[in-house]
Amino acid sequence: SDGGNTWHHVLYVNPNTGAVDLVIDPQDPNVLYAATWERTRRAWNFWEGGTGSGIYKSTDGGENWKLISTEQSGFPHGDFVGRIGLTISPQTPQILYAVVDNQKHRKKEKEELIVTKDLLRKISVKDFLKIKPEDLNAFLDHYNFPLEFNADTLFQLVKKGKIKPVTLVEYLEDANVELFDAPVTGAEVYRSEDGGQTWKRTHQGLLDKVFYSFGYYFGNIRIAPKDFNKIYLLGVPVLVSTDGGQTFQSINQENVHVDHHALWINPNNPNHLILGNDGGINISYDNGRTWLKANHPPVGQFYTVAVDMAKPYHVYGGLQDNGVWMGPSNHRESRSWQQSGHYAFKSIMGGDGMQVAIDTRTNQIVYTGFQFGNYFRIDLTNNKSKRITPKHQLGERPLRFNWQTPIHLSQYNQDILYIGAQKVFRSMDRGEHWTAISSDLTKGGKNGDVPYGTLTSIHESPLKFGLIYAGSDDGLVHVTKDGVAHWERISDSLPQDFWV
């Protein structure tokens, strides 16, 4: 109440819950609505919902608050309620909309295959051996198992106790499956017409491909200044509804990046929109039918930078959600590229751009990729790429790849490439084949929906071939002096459990 000089706490739910959104009645500043969000975040697990998530209302300028998203109100309530976003109608402030990230698992669709992942997770060995060979082979074909595995060979492996039926599921999955493939309900939109006393979901079906399984990243909804039936929903795409949320259409045009976090609507000209996303800022003057890309301010965030040995040398960089780019080091910004239509820098990989290694013998072979260990070998002469990520063997636990998986190209022989999961892998033939040259160099990981117990750094000595250091996200550093299997932990005197 004194212009921000002093503050006092007015709304508290529990230690794991915080306020994530706030809207004020435009006709009565004493009426406020706050969205709270209970979440537990650890390096190995994101739990994105809880009973602390809800909507609170104050009628005295924030001094006192009342929970209005009760079970009786019609708003979701329980452990599965995730992040909530709010918007209020300027003209009719009794009308509010809320978007909620519903973490409740949706009903599973019936699979066409007779042998399914769910069946293999719970089937006994005795019943597995009764499966018809053609049904098991159909499962193997559907999921592109290597040709060396067929029903007969797998029956023998299971009968001898070398693998279990669930091993087939584990072979298909990696440590990221729970984070990105969790079958949650996702985005839901609710509307109140009585100042938050009661709520009703606006749409009949599911809003697919809006939040996917990572709704914690979004949570914004906006209402048009002069039409309370027109709302905008921000997620992976940006959607608009003109019927109060019953139906939605995408206005995410081809030149608009995905993953949206901010939207301003001109109160004097509702067709004028300014949109903020992982690619920067877009501007529309026709309600999203067409968009301009605002190239300033520059908002790119680089994870990594690398160079080759060409003359002039090229600069490579992996960016947050904007792929991997490369360009000449002697490029200077000017209008000349606009006249030619050819920009000096170009994208060579999508996703979140990660580490880059260049074979400097020709400066034409580049190793790079995107998040969680998805790495490729790219031939710049023809722009062809091949996925080279190592795969665990049937019967082994899935590999754990860090968000920014480390790679290292040997300076002694640039056919030799290293990559880190929980183990160090080495390829002697540019990523065609891999061999683990270490055991697990982490503390073993922890159960959760985020890979943890992963290697974060690999580096080979510039003075001696085979002298390699590896660091992990749980605080360990190991060294090998022979480049094979003899690794020594050297981090016991360092602070424990910190990212290396």
Residues 47, 123, single domain; the answer is no
Residues 193, 169, single domain; the answer is no
**pTM beyond 0.75, yes or no:** yes
255's tokens: 């030149």
CA 139 – CA 143 distance, rounded (Å): 6
Note whether residue 9 is domain-resident: no
Contact (CB, 8 A) for 379 and 385: yes
Final residue before a domain boundary, out of 131, 152, 177: 177
Q: Quick one: average pLDDT of 282-304?
A: 93
Collapsing DSSP to helix, strand or coil, 104 comes out as strand
pLDDT at 109 (0 to 100)? 60
Residues 135, 58, single domain; the answer is no
**Residue 135 belongs to what domain range?**
117-177
Residues 384, 440, single domain; the answer is yes
Residues 134, 72, single domain; the answer is no
- With CA atoms as reference, report the closest residue to 32 among 24, 20, 40: 24
Domain count, the chain: 3
pLDDT at 178 (0 to 100)? 59
Q: Quick one: average pLDDT of 107-124?
A: 85
Whether omega for the bond prior to residue 297 falls within 30 degrees of 0, making it cis, is: yes
Contacts (Cβ under 8 Å, ≥6 apart) of 256 = 238, 275, 277, 279, 282, 291, 293
**By mean pLDDT, which of 139-148, 254-263, 424-433, 472-481 is the weakest?**
139-148
For residue 179, what is the enclosing H or E element? Answer: helix 177-180
Residues 358, 483, single domain; the answer is yes
Final residue before a domain boundary, out of 177, 194, 225: 177
Handedness of CA 148, 484, 430, 321 (dihedral sign): positive
What would the pLDDT profile of 238-258 be if each residue is shown by its tens digit? 999 999 999 999 999 999 999
CA 441 – CA 488 distance, rounded (Å): 10
- With CA atoms as reference, report the closest residue to 351 among 325, 328, 388: 325
Residues 483, 368, single domain; the answer is yes
Provide the CATH number for the domain around residue 353. 2.130.10.10
Q: DSSP letters of 129-161?
A: TTS-HHHHHHHHHHTT--TT--HHHHHHHHHTT
Residues 147, 86, single domain; the answer is no
What would the pLDDT profile of 9-63 be if each residue is shown by its tens digit? 999 999 999 999 999 999 999 999 999 999 999 999 888 999 999 999 999 999 9
Q: Quick one: average pLDDT of 260-275?
A: 97
Q: Quick one: average pLDDT of 261-265?
A: 98
Note whether residue 272 is domain-resident: no
Residues 336, 449, single domain; the answer is yes
pLDDT at 180 (0 to 100)? 65
Which residues are 374's β-sheet partners?
A: 370
Final residue before a domain boundary, out of 144, 177, 210: 177
CB atoms within 10 A of CB 224: 21
Note whether residue 89 is domain-resident: yes
Residues 379, 470, single domain; the answer is yes
Residues 69, 218, single domain; the answer is yes
Residues 25, 157, single domain; the answer is no
Contact (CB, 8 A) for 87 and 23: yes
**Is residue 310 pLDDT above 90, yes or no?**
yes
